Structure 1
């Protein structure tokens, strides 16, 4: 049995082909999408859980050493790893929100897979995280299908990092490949996510078109100019029809971060000044919400940073605001704050204004945000997305007949409006914003393994 596997930054989903139709499989209750999140008692519990509960073997000597270290640590800390120790998706988020200080919570590990400078043990840790999430998804998919799944096509962005780096892409693909093998996939292929989205859209075309696919995912934005339509459907090698690719690490997570930085962080002191009139260090307000930046997170939540925050509290003219920042530090509330930014962004796709309850930072603290506030906050990532679109068009040497947008953030009327201004008089269409990549991967898996 085969599946198309969208291991996404924000959400994961899988699909297969049944009766010539794509079928998304249930991954969390009745939901066919599961948030890309994991929660465990400790970081070390992940490695032990894989081995002890699921029987997943280490893939390298480093993974094996990581496992032995994890088991020793958990024994010393009197932590019992059992079948209930690890949760995924929305259940993981719920557990984190219930007690953020007492759990190990990870969101969007895909964002880190291509990071340069990772030590071998860090690469192994990310591999274990991906393996655990893939194993949970594969188990749930097999339960619905009542069949073993042995083959998969996994989606991948054009570039896992901001710049086109062969080394970063190779590292990320290696992690995903080893994880997929460890959970039991025997046959593994990869396909570019925007190409996969195009394959799904192609099923609706009645004549050949040159299509610009703009896939704004949780962690990356990818653009591909592809020739497609009825005469292309039977071409198993689509290389000649792919006119250009561009992609970068700009996605829905970045929109959330920029919104939180522009609108939320002033309430935590980001525009406050010292008694001498100096601005407070901006990194102390960017690093806590930069959840896709390992170094920034380590710098902010490092043990030694608390004394710097306390010094800021003494120096500032608005100590009540910096006190909220210290509470965010002490209670590890970054993911909760970013979750509120994400929910606000989603709500502003439909409503002109949204109220945000931030009482977990300070009793009675609320904030009203408008669509205009959102547009101003995300101006920089929007500009970068525009550059990717221009790059794809320049590479292709032609303008598209039609623009197909997909990915969760593509629902935003702000982004759609900017795209229409950039390419006026070209039709913009959107399909299943969350499922098009998965469906296209299933079509490609049907070609590869069907």
Structure 2
């Protein structure tokens, strides 16, 4: 059996073809989507788990070196790794939220795959993370479909997170390919996520059209200007139908991070001063919640940063706020803060204001956030997303007949209104915000493997 595999920043999903139509397969209980998360007793548990409990070996000597390090570290910590010690999806998030201090938790590893300047051993660790998640999803889908999955078309953004341009893209795609091969996939192909979403929309067309696909995912926003319709449907070579692409590493996670930073970090000391009247350093409030930035996370949670945080606590005019920031450090609360920001963002799509409740130390904090304040907080990433729409149209030199919006963040009325302002005379349509990419990948898998 072959599948389309959307290994997403926020969620993952897979689909197979049933006759002429794609069918998403449940991958977490009865859910068709599984959050892109993993939890384990320690960081070193991932590599050992793959080898010991899944019989998945490293591909090269660097991978073997990482495995030996991991086994030794777990032995030193007296950790006897059990088969169910690696947890995925919503269960991983629940475990992390129940006791952040006692679990190694990763959200959206796809965001890190294009990061430049990483050591080879770090790249192998990311490969292990992705492999563990893919292996879990593949097993769940096989159990539900009662069939072995051999081949897959995996979606990829136009540009991955990373400042290396095509070097970042090649690195990220290579990690995904190696991880998929180790997880048991035979043939692996890739397709741009907005193109895949466009293929799903194309199946509904009775006439040829030029369509701008706007895919706003968790980690990236991608726009593809595509000729589609009956003339193109089912063709293995779509090169001539792809008019223009634009993409950038800005997505729903960035909206959540900016909202969290501007509206939820004041109780932790953002905007406060030292006793001498100096402003607290902004990076100490940005870095812990920049969950899609490896460098920022490393700097904040580095052992040497603890001394800086203690010094700021001692010098603060409002030391109780910096005590909460110290709790963010000790209990690795960055992910839970951004999760709260995401909840606020979603609520403000329908409400004029919402009260966010945060539990830190022994306190229950309540922070009221207005919709206008939320709109102002997310202006920077929103503007980048909208610029990509203009960029794709300018590159293509043609006005689309329709705009097809997909991706979880495309549900936002604020983003939809921004797109409509760029092309006010072009109708905006949408399908399954979460499943269009996956369904389109399954359609392309049929072209590749059937």
- Please state which band the TM-score falls in when normalised by the shorter chain: over 0.9
Q: CA RMSD in A?
A: 1.2
Question: What is the aligned partner in structure 2 of residue 190 from structure 1?
Answer: 190
1:439 aligned to 2:448? Answer: no
Q: Secondary structure at the match of 2:17?
A: strand
**Structure 1 stretches of 5 or more lacking a match?**
none
Q: How many matched pairs?
A: 450
User: Which residue does 2:337 correspond to in 1?
Assistant: 337
Q: Which residue of 2 aligns with 1:377?
A: 377
TM-score normalised over the length of structure 1: 0.98
Cα distance between partner residues in 2 of 1:114 and 1:195: 20
| Distance across 2 between alignment mates of 1:235 and 1:442 | 14
Q: Give me the whole-angstrom Cα distance separating, in 2, the residues matched to 1:124 and 1:412.
A: 36
CA 207–227 in structure 1, closer or farther in 2 if over 3 Å, else same? same
**1:144 matched to which residue of 2?**
144
- Where 1:359 maps in the other structure, the secondary structure is strand
Q: Distance in 1 between matches of 2:58 and 2:359?
A: 43
Within 5 Å, give how 1:144-293 maps onto structure 2: 144-161=144-161, 165-293=165-293
Identify the range of structure 1 (111-120 vs 18-27) with the bigger mean alpha-carbon deviation.
Answer: 18-27
Which residue does 1:3 correspond to in 2?
Answer: 3
Deviation at 1:74, TM superposition (A): 1.0
The question of whether the paired residues in 2 share the 8 Å contact of 1:288 and 1:300 is answered with yes
- 2: CA distance, partners of 1:83 / 1:240: 49
Deviation at 1:350, TM superposition (A): 2.7
Matching residue of 2:63: 63
The 3-state SS of whatever aligns with 2:189 is strand
The separation in 2 between residues aligned to 1:12 and 1:106, in whole angstroms, is 14
Structure 2: distance between partners of 1:218 and 1:362? 32
Looking at structure 2, the residues matched to 368 and 209 of structure 1 have their Cα atoms a distance apart, in angstroms, of 46
Following superposition, the deviation at residue 421 of structure 1 comes to: 1.3
TM-score by structure 2 length? 0.98
Contact 1:10 1:36 in 2 (8 A): yes
- Does residue 111 of the first structure (1) align with residue 114 of the second (2)? no
Q: Secondary structure at the match of 1:231?
A: coil
Q: Which residue of 2 aligns with 1:406?
A: 406
Q: How does 1:410-425 map to 2 (within 5 A)?
A: 410-425=410-425
Residues in 1 aligned to 2:261 and 2:234: alpha-carbon distance in whole angstroms: 48
Structure 2 counterpart of 1:298: 298
Shift of 1:314: 2.1
Contact 2:116 2:164 in 1 (8 A): no
State the alpha-carbon separation in 1 of the partners of residues 321 and 46 from structure 2: 36
- Partner of 2:309 in structure 1? 309
CA-CA distance at 1:112 after TM superposition? 0.5
The farther-off stretch of 175-184 and 342-351 is: 342-351
Cα contact 2:115–2:164 (8 A) shared by 1: no
Quick check: 75-84 or 212-221, which moved more? 75-84
Alpha-carbon displacement from aligned partner over 1:371-417 (angstroms, at most 9, x marks no partner): 21211111000111122111111110111111111110110111111
Whether the aligned pair in 2 keeps the contact of 1:114 and 1:172 (CA below 8 Å) is yes
Whole-angstrom distance in 2 between the partners of 1:54 and 1:209: 47
Q: Is the 8 A contact 1:162 1:250 kept in 2?
A: no
Alignment partners' CA distance in 1, 2:251 and 2:108: 12
Partner of 1:388: 388
Partner of 2:96, secondary structure, is helix
The C-alpha deviation readout for 1:189-245, integer Å capped at 9, x for no partner, is: 000000000000111112211111110000100000001112221422111011000
Tell me the distance in 2 between the aligned counterparts of 1:361 and 1:428. 46
Q: Does 1:74 align with 2:74?
A: yes
Pairs within 5 Å for 1:14-33: 14-33=14-33
**TM-superposed deviation, 1:67:** 0.7
Residues 312, 419 of structure 1: CA spacing in aligned structure 2 closer, same or farther, 3 A cutoff?
same
Cα deviation for residue 278 of structure 1 reads: 1.5
- Give the distance between the partners of 1:69 and 1:78, measured in 2 at CA: 14
Q: Whole-Å Cα distance in 2 between the matches of residues 32 and 239 of structure 1?
A: 31
After superposition, the C-alpha distances for 1:262-288 in whole angstroms (9 at most, x for unaligned) are 001112111011222221111101100
